[in-house]
Structure 1
Amino acid sequence: MKDRIINFGLKDVARLSGAIVFLVIIYVFVRGQISGGAGDPTFLILAAVIGGYMAMNIGANDVANNVGPAVGSKALTMTGAILIAVVMEASGALIAGGDVVSTIKKGIIDPAYFGDDVQSFIWAMTAALLAAAIWLNVATAIGAPVSTTHSIVGGVLGAGIAAGGWGIANWDTVQQIVASWVISPVMGGVIAATFLYIIKRTVLDQRDLLTAARKTVPFLVAIMGWAFTTYLILKGVKKLVKVDFLTALGLGFVMAVAVFFIVRILVKNAAVKMQQSHASVDRLFLIPLIVSAALLSFAHGANDVANAIGPLAAINEAVFSGAIASEASIPLWVMLVGALGIAVGLALYGPKLIKTVGSEITELDMSRAFCVALAAAITVIIASQLGLPVSSTHIAVGGIFGVGFLREVLNSSYNEAVAKIKRRLADAEDPHVDEAFVERFDAAPMTEKRNMLRELKRKAVAEQLTWSERRDFKKAYKAKLVERSMLYKIVAAWIITVPLTGLFAAGLYFMLRGIMVV
């Protein structure tokens, strides 16, 4: 036990040392980059270090949603997932992160309220960035996956109100963000559960699993190809090439057709060596899961790097131009801070949240993880076209809860239920329940099991079971497959993210202003 405590402590010290070294490198690098420039670089250097800290926390917390399901289902090892995510997140940020970034995330405050007070704007953005980063750090420490977008939104909102008053906020946008706390997880959960239900009914509940898989799996993977191609075009490369929705959808369909024929051949060849088992069918989703984890990470790097570098780019613009801009160009060094920060944070602290998302909410196999990944892409596409504000974190976690709750509905304790009714019918010397019945039940596919149980239950009711026995039957028939404590913790963290970071950012703004004015 003592050795384990010592090892745990050494690992923590090593991670912390790595994080500190990265921030020191940012400090030295940025100081060298901006030396001799116009304006006072003090706050820009400070903001760069805070931006790197924010980026590390994005990597530690947010990236888990992209690779967690693949790790939880054992499609990827933890090391493999981190390597893929590090490469793809950094590539997405550097290749498709764009040349211009919105400095006021989601347009939640009006920068005109700052007037010509550039210094107050710089203090506000610094406070917002630091508040969001600290909250993400805390959330990661307690194992709660939260929205990095909502974190920075809360920070900007709180610091903005502290600097410019209540009128600075765009309250319609704030209301939409609050609505997304419900919209995102519900959409993700419903879509993921729907695809899992389709897989169970069309493949896993069938007697001939291999024949069912050969018919259904190519269509499912083709849908994923369609969704991810469209998603990647709209969210991953939109800053490189301007493509409208219909064009992206059309290109996605072309990819889906190609994927369908390729996968159909692959599944047909694989079926020759496969066994009639759920485990064999489950492995058909292995490659799609790995590809989806890589693509989700690329798109995430392209989009969410702005949560770390948006305020930093705004401060950089304000320092060197002396003006407040709603959009700012991104110097290469700013993008490097964001891209490398995400990669470093993921490598050092990512495993904790990856484990939480992948295995501590509900048990995931590859087919369930496939449904979660597919739901993430489809939900973002639908929401973006409807103008609905959604969070990728909420979507992914909602998808995991969705498949977990569906399992609770569909998966029941068949053996325990049969045992209870069998004992009752056996007492009455019922000729329908014997060893042959039990053997037939064990060998039957899920749909036949359900019919057999219904018939036994009908007979048991006809035998006038007591209320206690009926209650026991119901309790045996249901199984809790979602960790309730995780549900409550995550929902609570989601609800407090915006107000908490807002209050914290406001306090930091007043503290910075007090220090600098004095």
Structure 2
Amino acid sequence: MAWTEYNYLFAISLIGAFIDAYGIGANDVANSFATSVSSRSLTFRQAMLAAAICEFAGAVAVGARVTSTIKNGIIDLDEFNGDAAVLFLGFTCVIIGSCTWLTIATRNAMPVSTTHTVVGAIIGVGIALHGHGGSVKWGWNGVGQIFASWGIAPAVAGCLAAITFLITKYLVLRSSSPVKMGLIASPVYFFIVAGVLTTSIIVKGSPSLNLDELPPNVTAGAVVGTAAVVSILSLIFWLPWVYCQVAPEDAVTADSAVPDYYAGHREDDHVPASINNADDVEASNRRQQSEHDEDRESSKDGNDEKLAMDKDRPVTDEPTVEKSKLQMLEAKLSQPDRTTGPDGRPVPPNYRTFDGSWIEPWNLYTTLRYNALPWAWYTVSAGLRTDIHKLQMNGSDKEVARLKAIHKHSAHYDNKAEHLFSFLQVLTACTASFAHGANDVSNAVGPLSVVYSVWSTQLFPSSTEPTPIWILVFGGAAIVIGLGTYGWKLMSVLGNRLTLHSPSRGFSMEFGASITVVLASYLGLPVSTTQSITGATIAVSLCDGGRATNWKGVLWIFFSWVLTLPIAGLISGLTFAVVLNAPRWSV
């Protein structure tokens, strides 16, 4: 029977849990896919689609069917003295504190750990309940591991990512024939990557299937067997296909399937930051068009004689046709992108102006038709239309110059060899996303599961509570919406903003972070995927020297981590303390 007396608390928890999951999608998931987008292994829309499918499938198909009531054992249920109503209020405040800090952090482009956000909110409630010495477990089995993970996770992930990149660098990228060596080594890479990712799924990403309870010999057989199958499939299907793209001499043409992974990161590729508004862009375009017209007029007289000699040439001459196609393609590519501004964000709608107040009857139609509806569509769709690469390189003249100097100190390797690692990076990113959806969706819906259990039964919960499927769907959908509409915000301060990204670098970063998560799961350490990928990014950048790293951006990320626990704890703790100890009206 529902506890109707506290319907308002359940409603608040439901709204807060949606905002929490939305923030996880916009912050944590966007953080995970920033390397794939920044290296051009995936376009932004492809990353959003892959993340939406993997996160939602992981959350709903194999997401945690049983949620720990007190995450990571930070406080003890006995501290609530069996009072279900107080526990109900406490977890409502946990949701409020978590979603509030995640919203603030995401709005200010602060990459934070959503796991530590929830833990911080629980710590706040525990302190408000019985003081700092009564409820919270500050030792190694509690909060101590959280603080230790700030150094352990980045350090371990960084070492593993650096080892992976250095092996790749000297074995493939700097060899005399990088494409040939890449093709030879690829099946081995697929075998190792598939083995690690399968292990990651077993120990982290399938809590409802209890795969982590399999006997060691069965687990080893499953890992080796899956890795062998993936490697064999890559030999049969992937290797011949990618060989046709990278091996022939004419593989890189105007319409090639091999992207330029270093486009926009050469010295002559950066747009001056002084062109910072639409008028400047338009003026620049007019100036370029004027120069083009002058060049065309000056060459017109010299071309008249040539045109007269060629007037009898058949118009179907193949070289001429091919040249014309290339010229048309170059002209199309050289035109400025009018759908996004210089900062990479889509151009906002042209809102209508009117006289008087918007609420006046004669202005309501204008407000709704030409302002409100275009604003709503822009808010929903602008995220997917953002140019992440342009956004990451946007800033003041001084900031752009600093980013150019950082990228200048990062080596550029064979583009075709880089292409081979883009597939490995996509495989790593999608598998990690699936595991993230299965495991970390509990950060958003875990407290909601406890609130729902108490609200629907009016009973004090046990140490673990079942998670209804509708709550997993609810959380998975909110994660996808947050990623698609606001994920661009976090990607703007990551990726190429920290160091130059390419498929080989991005693959090494994500692979190092995946191995760290596997090791931490076996050792029982609560590491964060956010902190793991950050440490891996810094370590790979150091392989190009310290001047290839944006240390200012790194300090901003670490500053965000430090603020997470205390601020989330303050919000939830103060809310809980004020409501719990407020004067009551006695009847």
AA matched with 1:250: G
Q: 1:248 aligns with which of 208, 214, 219?
A: 219
Provide the aligned length of Structure 1 versus Structure 2. 414
- Pick which of 390-399 and 314-323 moved more: 314-323
SS of equivalent residue, structure 1 residue 328: strand
Q: 8 Å contact 1:62–1:393 — kept in the other structure?
A: yes
AA matched with 1:207: S
Asked if residue 280 in structure 1 is aligned to residue 397 in structure 2, the reply is no
AA matched with 1:72: S
Asked if residue 392 in structure 1 is aligned to residue 392 in structure 2, the reply is no
CA-CA distance at 1:195 after TM superposition: 0.3
d(CA) in 2 for partners of 1:253 and 1:516? 63
Percent identical among aligned pairs is 32
Asked if residue 170 in structure 1 is aligned to residue 137 in structure 2, the reply is yes
- The answer to which structure has the higher helix fraction is 1
CA-CA distance at 1:325 after TM superposition: 2.6
Q: How big is each residue's C-alpha offset from its partner over 1:143-170, in whole Å with a ceiling of 9 and x where there is no partner?
A: 2211000000000011112013332112
Q: 1:44 aligns with which of 10, 17, 21?
A: 10
Q: 8 Å contact 1:226–1:249 — kept in the other structure?
A: no
CA-CA distance at 1:38 after TM superposition: 5.8
d(CA) in 2 for partners of 1:37 and 1:332? 21
d(CA) in 2 for partners of 1:153 and 1:241? 24
CA-CA distance at 1:80 after TM superposition: 1.2
CA-CA distance at 1:39 after TM superposition: 5.4
Q: Where in structure 2 are the equivalents of 1:12-411 lying within 5 Å?
A: 40-165=6-131, 166-172=133-139, 173-243=142-212, 244=214, 246=216, 247-264=218-235, 266-267=238-239, 270-271=242-243, 274=246, 278-319=414-455, 320-408=457-545
TM-score for both structures, normalised by structure 2: 0.67
CA-CA distance at 1:511 after TM superposition: 2.6
CA-CA distance at 1:79 after TM superposition: 1.1
SS of equivalent residue, structure 1 residue 101: strand
- Specify whether residues 341 and 245 from structure 1 end up closer, same or farther in structure 2 by C-alpha distance, changes over 3 A only: farther
User: Which residue does the alignment assign to 2:561?
Assistant: 494
d(CA) in 1 for partners of 2:22 and 2:584? 31
Q: 8 Å contact 2:183–2:420 — kept in the other structure?
A: no
d(CA) in 2 for partners of 1:487 and 1:167? 36
User: Which residue does the alignment assign to 2:365?
Assistant: none
d(CA) in 1 for partners of 2:122 and 2:241? 55
- Pick which of 329-338 and 261-270 moved more: 261-270
AA matched with 1:87: I
d(CA) in 1 for partners of 2:5 and 2:470? 18
d(CA) in 1 for partners of 2:14 and 2:136? 26
Q: How big is each residue's C-alpha offset from its partner over 1:99-125, in whole Å with a ceiling of 9 and x where there is no partner?
A: 221121111000101103222222221
- Specify whether residues 251 and 355 from structure 1 end up closer, same or farther in structure 2 by C-alpha distance, changes over 3 A only: farther
Q: How big is each residue's C-alpha offset from its partner over 1:338-371, in whole Å with a ceiling of 9 and x where there is no partner?
A: 1111111111111121343322111110011111
Q: 8 Å contact 1:96–1:238 — kept in the other structure?
A: yes
Q: 1:507 aligns with which of 559, 565, 574?
A: 574
Q: 8 Å contact 2:161–2:509 — kept in the other structure?
A: yes
CA-CA distance at 1:274 after TM superposition: 2.4
AA matched with 1:339: G
Q: 8 Å contact 1:214–1:268 — kept in the other structure?
A: no
- Pick which of 275-284 and 186-195 moved more: 275-284
CA-CA distance at 1:514 after TM superposition: 4.5
- Structure 1: which 5+ runs fail to align? 1-33, 410-479
CA-CA distance at 1:184 after TM superposition: 0.8
- Specify whether residues 350 and 516 from structure 1 end up closer, same or farther in structure 2 by C-alpha distance, changes over 3 A only: farther
Root-mean-square deviation (CA, aligned residues, Å) is: 2.1
SS of equivalent residue, structure 1 residue 252: helix
Q: 8 Å contact 1:214–1:264 — kept in the other structure?
A: no
Q: 8 Å contact 1:65–1:354 — kept in the other structure?
A: yes
- Structure 2: which 5+ runs fail to align? 250-412
- Specify whether residues 355 and 321 from structure 1 end up closer, same or farther in structure 2 by C-alpha distance, changes over 3 A only: same
